[in-house]
Amino acid sequence: MSIKQLARKTVRNLTPYQSARRLGGNGDIWLNANESPFSNEYSVSGERLNRYSTCQPTELIAAYADYAGVRYEQVLTSRGADEGIELLIRAFCEPNQDSIIYCPPTYGMYAISAEIFDVKTKTVPLTEQWQLDLPAIANNLEGTKLVFVCSPNNPTGNLIDRDDIEALLEMTAGNALVVVDEAYIDFCPEATTADLLGRYPNLVILRTLSKAFALAGLRCGFTLAHPDIIELLLKIIAPYPVPVPVTEIAVQALSESGRAKTKFQVLDISANRAYLQAGLGMLDGVTVFDGYGNYLLVRFPDSDELFKALWEHGIILRRSPIENCIRISIGSRDECEKTLAFIREQLTQNSEKRTAL
Ligand SMILES: *Cc1c(COP(=O)(O)O)cnc(C)c1O
């Protein structure tokens, strides 16, 4: 018997998440993982590494609670927001019995985490305007424990209507949690639902330092929720989930000066996004969708051909499941200029080829 046969059936059949890193590529310009173009410097003491870390470092929880404007008891930290997704599924969903709902096109990890733990997935696609289909969600709530809502949504970039999120919270009260994934909320802080936490005990919010805080490599995320939910998640989290150096760096990032730096970098990225949106929008046959995160979803006449040409030229973007759409992370101004220039040149060449035929 091969070793592989020893694994759980679910694991043998699993297609893992196609992360940007896993997909590889050979480029000079990496705009495929919604990473920040800023590499900020931090200092690490390197002390006390002989001791285990604290499960939930007080200083870190206090700093994030202050940043998010919530109470200390409403915050949990984990290895990225991805671990938060996993903890929620493990804590709330009975395998082979309960389900989660998610609304494609959206972030891929909700489905993959559920599958890994043999939790059923129900999909209720977003409407044509990429908003929640509330009646369809209502029809699927039987046996559902978690409803994932991503806002700003990855990969479409739009915000989910706040009134709809509230309607969903009311519709699910007492039966299911609504998990609002706010991985990109620092690019549009006014759109947060964190102020609703006090009113809705079934609201959970996911946050991360990976995007606006430019710390994707740190692996530090947060779950904001009612203290009862935080307490449940703490029962199943690993004993030492946050490495000591991670806490040191995260606390610096969340300090007053760290927050000021992030704010400045968010403004810079937003200006680059506006530049790219305007530039691409001027090209024939190209549609740029309004985006609130550090990425834009763009529809091209022939996205496959263009994606490959960019890839071969060392500009690595992300394919999307939406027809003829590519997701472009917002990099530095130089990266945006080079990307725009190459796309403009490609599209002009292609339309000349077509005219010649
Ligand atoms: C990037 C991303 C995450 C994961 O964040 P980590 O903290 O790096 O695990 C979660 N949700 C969405 C929508 C994301 O785009």
- Tell me how far apart the alpha carbons of residues 188 and 152 are, in angstroms, rounded to a whole number: 8
Ligand 1 centre to CA of 37 (Å) is 16
Give this prediction's pTM: 0.96
* 206 in Cβ contact with 81 (< 8 Å): yes
- Which region among 4-18, 32-46, 184-198 has the lowest average model confidence (pLDDT)? 4-18
For residues 332 and 271, the answer to whether their CB atoms sit within 8 Å is no
CATH of residue 324: 3.90.1150.10
Q: What percent of the chain has pLDDT over 70?
A: 98
Does the residue 41 lie in any domain?
A: no
> Residue 78 belongs to what domain range?
58-255
Report yes or no on 348 lying in a domain. Answer: yes
Pocket, ligand 1, Cβ cutoff 6 A:
34, 80-82, 107, 150, 154, 181, 183, 208, 210, 216, 221
Q: Which atom of ligand 1 is nearest to the CA of 221?
A: 7
Confidence of residue 326 (pLDDT cuts 50, 70, 90): very high
What are 259-306's pLDDT values in tens digits?
999 999 999 999 999 999 999 999 999 999 999 999 999 999 999 999
Among residues 255, 290, 315, the one where a domain terminates is 255
Is residue 53, in this structure, part of any structural domain at all?
Answer: no
Higher-confidence residue of 355 and 348: namely 348
> Can you give the pLDDT at residue 15?
86
Ligand 1: residue of 86, 179, 208 to mutate (most ligand atoms within 8 A of CB) is: 208
Average pLDDT over the chain reads: 96
Last residue of a domain, one of 214, 240, 255: 255
Task: Return the pLDDT at 331.
Answer: 98
Confidence category of residue 58, pLDDT binned at 50, 70, 90: very high
* Atom of ligand 1 lying closest to residue 107 CA: 13
Q: How many CB atoms lie within 10 A of CB 353?
A: 9
Per-residue pLDDT at 24 exceeds 80 = no
Distance 93 CA to ligand 1 centre (A): 21
Domains identified in the chain, total number: 2
Which of 21, 103, 109 to mutate for ligand 1's pocket (most ligand atoms within 8 Å of CB)? 109
Residue 354 has pLDDT above 80, yes or no: no
- Give the pLDDT score at 81: 98
Please tell me whether residues 84 and 227 are part of one structural domain. yes
Q: How far is CA 282 from CA 25, 189, 287, 340, in A?
A: 29, 29, 9, 11
d(CA 61, CA 66): 9
**Which residues lie closer than 8 Å to 22 by C-beta, 6 or more apart?**
16
Q: 62-98: per-residue pLDDT in tens?
A: 999 999 999 999 999 999 999 999 999 999 999 999 9
Q: Do 238 and 263 share a structural domain?
A: no
